[in-house]
Structure formats: C-alpha cells, structure tokens
Structure 1
C-alpha cells in the first residue's frame, strides 16, 4: 500500500493533497474514489488536508455548503 493509499484510508490523516497537476489530481481522485472535479471542489472549499476533504465529501461539509 502506498503512503497515499494509507492516508486515503486513515480517518484522521493530516496528509495534504496537491491538486496542482492533473496527474496528482487524478491519482488522489482514484485513492478517494471520487471524480477529479469533486476532489478539486473539496480542496477549494476546505483546503488540502485529507481528513477535512473526506469529511466534506461524505456530507460533513458538503451539506453545509449546499444549504442542507
């Protein structure tokens, strides 16, 4: 398992996602099982930390952002 895969699976991971290149964006999108566009939106909304991104993507922040 790569370090990124471990970070993607660790609930409280403080690893940071670099979406500065299409390759890194695609890689992290695969690791987190989300479309690249969703990952990019999440990073823009909550920053690059994996734990915050996962919370956002699973409804913790997405619901707040959409008014729900």
Structure 2
C-alpha cells in the first residue's frame, strides 16, 4: 500500500508523522475493566489531539406518562 499524501503534523512542535501520535487508555475502568476513555496526544511535545469515549451506554427511555407528548 502506498504512503498517504498528507501526514499529520503537530500544531505545536511541527513534527510530522503518525509515529508521533500516541493513544493512551484511561486509568479509570468500567465494571468490565474497559477504559472509560482514550487520550490521543503528540509524543514529542504532549499536545492533546482529543479525548475519545470508550464506554458508551445506550440512553434509557424517559417515561412520558399520560400528558400526550
């Protein structure tokens, strides 16, 4: 497979390449030992690209009663 045309570049330290993007799971865990979230950051300077939820629960239905809504 060929190399991508555009490689990611850190906005703070300007290093280029996927090898500088690190994704680390949270220390806090769910009951099933899954990490609650993962943090993606630059391994060179620590710039945080984002925090991504790993454990997502289905929303519970809201009881509506007899109000007609």
How does the TM-score come out when normalised to structure 2?
A: 0.22
Q: Say which structure, 1 or 2, has more relative contact order (CA 8 Å, 6+ apart).
A: 1
How does the TM-score come out when normalised to structure 1?
A: 0.22
Higher Cα Rg, which structure: 2
Higher-strand-fraction structure? 2
Higher-helix-fraction structure? 1
